[in-house]
Structure 1
Amino acid sequence: MKKPLLLAGLAALILALLWVLRDQDLTVAALQGHLARVAAWQQGHPLLVAGLFFVAYVAITALSLPFALWMTLASGALFGFWGGLAIASFASAIGASLAFLVARHLLRDWVRARLGQKARTIEAGLARDGAFYLFSLRLIPVVPFFAVNLLMGLTPIRLLVFYAVSQAGMLAGTAVYVNAGTQLARLDSLSGIVSAPILASFAVLAVFPWIARAVLGLLRRRRVYAGWTRPSSYDRNLVVIGAGSAGLVSAYIAAATKARVTLVEAGEMGGDCLNYGCVPSKALIRSATLAHEMRHASAQGLTDTAPVIPFAAVMERVHRIIATIAPHDSVERYTSLGVEALKGHARLIDPWTVEVTDAEGTARRLTTRSVIIATGARPFLPPLPGLDLVEPLTSDTLWEGLRGMQDPPRRLVVLGGGPIGCELAQAFARLGSEVVQIERSPRLMGREDPEVADMVMASMRADGVSILTEHSAVRCGVDGDRWIEVEHEGETRRIPFDRIIVAVGRHARLEGFGLEELGIPADRTVETNAYLETRYPNILAAGDVAGPYQFTHVASHQAWFASVNALFGMFKRFKADYRVIPWATFTAPEVARVGLSETEATEKGIPHEVTRFDLAGLDRAVTDGAAHGFVKVLTPPGKDRILGVTIVGDHAGDLIAEFVMAMKHGLGLGKVLGTIHIYPTWTEANKSVAGAWRRAHVNPRALALVERFHRWRRG
């Protein structure tokens, strides 16, 4: 209660002072009269008058009273230009700092609570550039002095920085008014001080920091490019290295804006998603799902049927689907769009030159204004002793490694409990493999809430997957059988298998592209700034190679920022926007999430409440025989703003889209509730969870009044 009481007391003091001073004549003539009386006293007590004036000036600015301008004029009239400038400059900066501290102490926590996650985003930007913006504002006298003090108190800028920047930034404006004060006897009004030319001059002065920043940026660029010889002309506007999701979108945008663009790919067009990841895995999951439905046909009123699984035909279907989609990402299509597509390995020779070597070893060099590195990622093979002896499969190699097999692997080990490992383990179990999944963490899908992981693990176990959590792989070997040795609670055991799929993560493709030679930092990913620029601003990165998320849709999202910044960054650059990132895991049940999970919100200390709707209450889920799972929404206490959503159940990856849209555009659950959803569809689950939130936040007093109103109406 201390802060509200202190704030109320301070407000009362300011109002009281304004009331006392309400009849003061704020004209130049009145000020001249007051100063004549003070000047007479000043003759006998110069230091006392200077000290009292300084304290009064500090108090007026600290309390944000609207008299700072008059005090500045008075300082020039009483103490001359240099004396008045010293007093006014230091007193205004000290008073501003006190107002800054008051705002920080009394209001900052309240504002942060109101803004939530947005406050953290704003604070991150101001922590980096706050001093620069403050300096610009201080150079413009028309920006209210007190408003800058109070608003900056709500930011993370340090007190000493605020004081120093204010002292320097206000000096020019203070000097103008102090000088006017020295000429106060000859002034009839303030129009000569705050005339249009003076204000225009200050506006121009305020642009200087931005010009200085641009010059510093230019100097930094010159330093970065020192030692390299820039071509006098360029063959192309953009070269894109890698034809996965990020590379294809980058090339498409460049061609659509009529830039001359070359797309270089050493492997298959379409990258990992088309050839090894999203497309083939979802095709396999669909076949596995159908096999599961056949075994459980009685749930739909039919007869359970044991499926006959010609595994070779299943794998051929996977490759047929890849071939069906491939033309969307083909050389022919992109050539028709205006993209030059080259097959070969690309390597940076200097910041503007890319060497492309084809399969025959023939090399050609291309000069380009900008480069986008979109080389993707590959599965990570851990340094597990003996792993090379057992011919491990990965999410990239299993499609060719198992192609042509008449039956799925009888005994399959899946190493890793992330989304890829879970999807493949369940799919192969449904196709008839005896699957053992090994994960060293306490549960699968460690990024999700425990209840989500528990639901998925229960479903996978029902499909026959043997899940070994808190088991660490020790070594692999071949002794008649292939085997893997695992350790759990100090004990080890061997698990025999026919094939093993390693799904313990992916790492960026960084080697062989000339990054080391150019000194571009690249550890786990290529190091980029907020604009996706590397050490060299004309070389950018997007997709898995840039991080921080390894999702196809994020790679496409980044590609827009990278390509626009590469082509038009001299006019306007855009920071990559990661505020609303959704993802899904296509197990049964599906899991989709956007924003915070309940576990994350608790760990980060973010105030929240949880609204939940169980899909058992959704009519369409009941008719489809899929009445399991839930929609869970996190909101700030008492507010409908969406902090995060987790959906578990059929079509979760599709249902999440409405919440992604709502979060992206700042729409709360009230807007979702007010939107018509077709009956009976799965999307009604979104409206139902919004309705559950509304019912939980009905004002009981208002409801009681309405009840009394209806009773009165009945007579």
Structure 2
Amino acid sequence: MKRHGKILLLLLVVVLIAALFLSPLREWLTLARLKESRETIQAAIAAQPLAAAAAFLLLYIVVTALSLPGAAILTLAAGALFGLWEGLLLASFASTIGASLAFLGARYLLRDWVAARFGARLGAIDEGIARDGIFYLLTLRLNPAIPFFLINLGMGMTRMRLVTFWVVSQIGMLAGTFVFVNAGTQIGRIESTSDILSGGLLGAFVLLSLFPLLAKFVVGMLRRRRIYKGWHKPKRFDRNLIVIGAGAGGLVTSLIGATVRAKVTLIEAGEMGGDCLNTGCVPSKALIASAKAAKSARDGSAYGIVTSGVRVDFRAVIERVHEAIRIIAPADSVERYTGLGVDVRKGRARIVDPWTVEIDGGERLTSRSIVIAAGGRPFVPDLPGLATSGYLTSDTMWEALRGRDHVPGRVVILGGGPIGTELAQAFVRLGSRVTQIDHGDRLLSKEDPEVSALIAARLRGEGVDIRTGCTALRVEDGMLVVACGGVEERVPFDELIVAVGRRARLRGYGLEELGIDVEARSIVDPWLETRFPNIYAVGDVTGTLQFTHLAAHHAWYAAVNALFGSVRRFKVDISVLPWVTYTDPEVAHVGHNEQSAREAGVAHEVHRYDLSHLDRAVAEGAREGFVKLLVQPGKDRILGATIVGASAGEILAEIVLAMRHGLGLNKILSTIHAYPTMAEANKYAAGEWKKTHKPEWALALAERWHRWRRG
């Protein structure tokens, strides 16, 4: 229905334009004809002033709404025929009404088409309009060198509110309209419209158009003066950039700074590489790999391999974890980053004022900008008896388990998120008896329910005792006491692993003394600035999702904004953010899933392809899982994807690339995928979408064609 409405409106516009061009009215929209007929028209206006004003207003609105040439002549005519003030009133309101109609028409006819093809770019423009749209529009309206009809059509592509467009246009076009209407009162002296806008006057308008930007700059300067009131800014700085924390976010930030030849100091109190290298991503994935190998060895008969007596050397498993850390560590080392031009300092950093960082309570360095990349830490609930229970976290378990000959017999994992679920599967595969406890009604609560159910079924099938809807009460006598359905249960353990989430590591860096609220949900704005525009934060400390790749992504924005923000700064874009849970099968996710799309009220279609039909999955014995795509209704634009299966994180990469660069499912369908690969699943999922959108009318015509060809 909407499509038919657009076609009808487009036909109406075409008819109106054709009628105006074919009618005698076209000849009247010239300066010469206006000068010749001025007295005759003024006599008609004097006879019926209200009707004449209404007719003029309507004509002006139509010409402006259809973006036809002639608006300048009509503005002159307003002054020539109605005088300065009445002409100004008519031309000003008519031009704004017409511009608003052009704005609405462009939005109705073109925005969906533009969004389908340039969704990511249009989204970034919309964010800029939401933030500074008034300044942008006012700047454009005050500059007569920019055709007004282009402004009307261009703004129609954005999500600017109509009332904002109307008011700003009314104000912004007033000066230019006044000049033309006033010139119209002296029309006898004008030979062409170029006589009105002399070089000097045009230059004055261009300078006037810069006023909104200048006003914005002044407002920003006053805001900064208010923020920094009471602090003494150094006249000279030791560094361009100081980065606190050498995890993924800090390393990438300092590397970018050094690459563009800034003087950068990186300060780290612990191990280089941060949590990901030393206690998070690397050790956990090494453990998962060993656990998967143990499972494959036991399941050899499924592949025609006879196996017996599989034994896990737990000491060797943990040593392999530390070996993986040792191999990767040189890439994050002090020596490497020093060689790349970064001044690396080992010590505890504390910010003593907005430009000064103190190291270990001694040396102080000043810097124009500071980036906080201190990472996160496991959240430990305040449970009676927990502190003395010898519990482990993802930070402490790797050293605590080192040197043990045998896998822990009974492992209780508190938490049903990605970390807890990965560890539960890894330990049960290594031979532990695992109980996983979570207060929610299902594991992996951010994923769709069917994903949670599939992973839970796999873990239960491997021997994990999953207890959801249970609340931990206390730890006593080597047991975790929980309440499940109102009934207390005692769960014995040899090792208790707490994996209920992570928190930003913000305390102890002087932020509280600076007035930065470390308890806030987020301490940064969309440019990663804290309340002080020269102090930035990246990664876990921002209070957003805690992923290593997000911290590295943040780093580019923080480094560029910190070093070049006075020229241009960039708002963080995480609209296409992938994440992977490394269970077996893996769970990979980008954009919306069904759950988040419903919560956000995003219209979507769901198209699914099961891996049980994929040749490579059959050959590998990895048929469990699926590719599920969320697609904009009636379009091929991907809104999100969830992939469950072997190598799901690798398969997802193609979808992430397509979403980031606005490539639709038709592009994926037309791409040759090597056979047999798991990545073919993306093409087949796109094929499922295509089946539901096949052009039945074209196929019916094709059938008739083939019938005719057969004779």
Query: What TM-score does the superposition give when structure 1 sets the normalisation length?
Result: 0.92
Quote how far apart the aligned CAs of 1:585 are.
0.5
CA distance, structure 1, for counterparts of residue 118 and residue 287 of structure 2? 44
With 653-662 and 412-421 compared, the bigger mean Cα shift is at 653-662
Residues 66-77 of structure 1 aligned to structure 2 (within 5 Å): 66-77=69-80
Which of 525, 535, 539 aligns to 1:539? It is 535
Contact 2:629 2:638 in 1 (8 A): yes
Structure 2 match to 1:441: 440
Find 1:287's aligned residue among 264, 283, 290: 290
In structure 1, C-alpha distance between the alignment counterparts of 2:174 and 2:237, rounded to whole Å:
47
Amino acid at match of 1:451: E
Let me know the Cα RMSD of the aligned residues: 2.8
1:169 deviates by 0.6
| Distance of 2:160 and 2:26 partners within structure 1 | 38
The alignment partner of 1:438 has SS state of strand
Q: Is the 8 A contact 2:190 2:196 kept in 1?
A: no
Aligned length, in residue pairs = 708
Aligned counterpart, 1:345: 348
Using a 3 Å threshold, how does the CA distance of structure 1 residues 102 and 691 change in structure 2: closer, same or farther?
Answer: closer
Correspondence 1:494 to 2:480: no
Instruction: Using the TM superposition, name which of 272-281 and 494-503 deviates more.
Output: 494-503
| Partner of residue 20, structure 1 | 23
- The letter of the residue matching 1:583 is W
The alpha carbon displacement at 1:153 in A equals 5.2
Given candidates 252, 260, 265, the residue that maps to 1:262 is: 265
> What residue number does 1:363 align with?
362
Aligned-residue offset at 1:462 = 1.2
SS state at 1:537 partner: coil
CA distance in 1, matches of 2:624, 2:107: 48
Give the direction of change, closer, same or farther, for the CA distance of 1:110–1:388 in structure 2 (3 Å limit).
same
Are the aligned partners of 2:29 and 2:74 in contact in 1 as well (CA < 8 Å)? no
| Amino acid in structure 1 at the alignment position of 2:334 | V
User: Distance between the aligned counterparts of 2:674 and 2:26, measured in 1?
Assistant: 65
Deviates more, 1:570-579 or 1:448-457: 570-579
Per-residue CA shift, 1:250-300, capped at 9, x if unaligned? Answer: 111122222221111111111000111001101111111111112211011
State the partner residue of 2:611. Answer: 615
Q: 1:557 to 1:102 in 2, by over 3 A?
A: closer
- Which letter maps to 2:296? E
Q: Trace 1:387-426 onto structure 2 (pairs within 5 A).
A: 387-426=386-425
Cα displacement (A) at 1:567: 1.6
Note the C-alpha offset of 1:563.
1.0
The secondary structure found in structure 2 opposite 1:29 is helix
Give the Cα separation in 2 of the matches to 1:681 and 1:340: 45
- Give the letter aligned to residue 282 of structure 1: K
1:43-66 per-position Cα deviation (integer Å, ceiling 9, x unaligned):
577677667655665565466564
Distance 2:255 2:578 in 1: 23
CA contact (8 A) 1:526 1:541 kept: no
- 1:435 maps to a residue whose letter is V
Per mean C-alpha deviation after superposition, the further-off stretch among 365-374 and 34-43 is: 34-43
Please say which of residues 94-103 and 291-300 is displaced more in the overlay: 94-103
Query: Counterparts in 2 of 1:270-309, with a 5 A limit?
Result: 270-309=273-312
Spell out the pairing of 1:15-94 with structure 2 (5 A cutoff): 15-41=18-44, 53=56, 57=60, 61=64, 66-94=69-97
Kindly state the Cα deviation for residue 187 of structure 1 after the two structures are TM-superposed.
Answer: 1.7
The Cα shift of 1:332 comes to 1.4
- 2-side partners of 1:695 and 1:575: how far apart? 39
The amino acid of 2:228's aligned partner reads Y
Out of 428-437 and 134-143, give the one that drifted further: 134-143
| Corresponding residue to 1:140 among 143, 146, 157 | 143
1:558-588, Cα deviation, whole Å (9 max, x unpaired)? 1111112212222222222212111101101
Is 2:624 the counterpart of 1:628? yes
1:678 aligned counterpart, secondary structure: coil
Displacement, 1:610? 2.5
The whole-number CA distance in structure 1 between the counterparts of 2:330 and 2:7 is: 69
The TM-score normalised by the length of structure 2 is: 0.92
Q: How far does residue 224 in structure 1 lie from its aligned partner after superposition? A: 2.1
Residue matched to 1:460: 459
* 3-state DSSP of counterpart to 1:76: helix
Q: Which is further off, 285-294 or 106-115? A: 106-115
Alignment partner, residue 322 of structure 1? 325
Q: 1:267 to 1:524 in 2, by over 3 A?
A: farther
Question: Cα–Cα, structure 1 residues 492 and 96, in superposed 2: closer, same or farther, change >3 Å?
Answer: same
Relative to structure 1, is the Cα distance of residues 93 and 685 closer, same or farther in structure 2, using a 3 angstrom cutoff?
closer
Equivalent positions of 1:592-607 (< 5 A) are: 592-607=588-603
Q: Given the superposition, is the C-alpha separation of residues 279 and 601 from structure 1 closer, same or farther in structure 2, using an over 3 Å criterion?
A: same
How far does residue 8 in structure 1 lie from its aligned partner after superposition? 6.2
Which of 190, 193, 196 in structure 2 is aligned with 1:187?
Answer: 190
Matches within 5 A, 1:82-121: 82-97=85-100
Structure 1: give runs of 5+ residues left out of the alignment: none
Q: Which residue of 1 aligns with 2:672?
A: 676
Whichever residue aligns with residue 230 of structure 2, its letter is: G
Find the counterpart in structure 1 of residue 226 from structure 2.
223
2:503 corresponds to 1:503: no
CA distance in 2, matches of 1:686, 1:466: 34
Q: What residue number does 2:206 align with?
A: 203
Aligned to 1:586: 582
Q: Which residue of 2 aligns with 1:472?
A: 471
Cα gap change, 1:61 to 1:675, in 2 (>3 Å): closer
1:212 counterpart (215, 228, 232) = 215
* CA offsets 1:306-343 (integer angstroms, 9 cap, x no match): 42223222212211221221111111111121211111
Distance 1:404 1:532, change over 3 A: same
Work out the percentage of aligned pairs sharing the same amino acid.
57
**Which of 511, 522, 527 is matched with 1:515 structurally?**
511
| Amino acid corresponding to residue 291 of structure 2 in structure 1 | A
Q: Is the 8 A contact 2:92 2:170 kept in 1?
A: yes
Q: Give 2:383's aligned residue.
A: 384
Contact 2:142 2:208 in 1 (8 A): yes
The answer for the alignment partner of 2:658 in structure 1 is: 662
> Does the CA contact (< 8 Å) of 1:510 and 1:525 recur in 2?
no
**Cα distance in 1, alignment partners of residues 661 and 11 from structure 2:** 39
2:383 is paired with a residue of what secondary structure?
coil
* Distance in 2 between residues matched to 1:190 and 1:427, nearest whole Å: 79
* Alpha-carbon separation, structure 2, partners of 1:531 and 1:631: 34
Aligned to 2:558: 562
What is the rounded CA distance, in whole Å, between the counterparts of 1:112 and 1:338 in structure 2?
43
SS in 1 for 2:337: helix
Check the 8 A contact 2:66/2:102 in 1, yes or no.
yes
Deviates more, 1:23-32 or 1:81-90: 81-90
Cα gap change, 1:569 to 1:150, in 2 (>3 Å): closer
Residues 647 and 229 of structure 1: is their aligned pair in 2 closer, same or farther, counting only changes over 3 Å?
Answer: same
User: Structure 2 unaligned runs (5+)?
Assistant: none
**Aligned partners of 1:23 and 1:432: how far apart in 2?**
88
| 618, 638, 642: which one aligns with 2:638 | 642
Deviation at 1:150?
Answer: 5.3
Contact 2:372 2:535 in 1 (8 A): yes
- Separation (CA, whole Å) in 1 of partners of 2:457 and 2:51: 82
- 3-state SS in 2 of match to 1:620: helix
Letter of the 2:381 partner, please give it.
P
Q: Do 2:413 and 2:497's aligned partners in 1 also have CA atoms closer than 8 Å?
A: yes
2: distance between equivalents of 1:167 and 1:502?
A: 61
How far did residue 10 of structure 1 move?
5.4
**Which shifted more, 7-16 or 685-694?**
7-16
Residue type matched to 2:281 in 1?
Answer: C
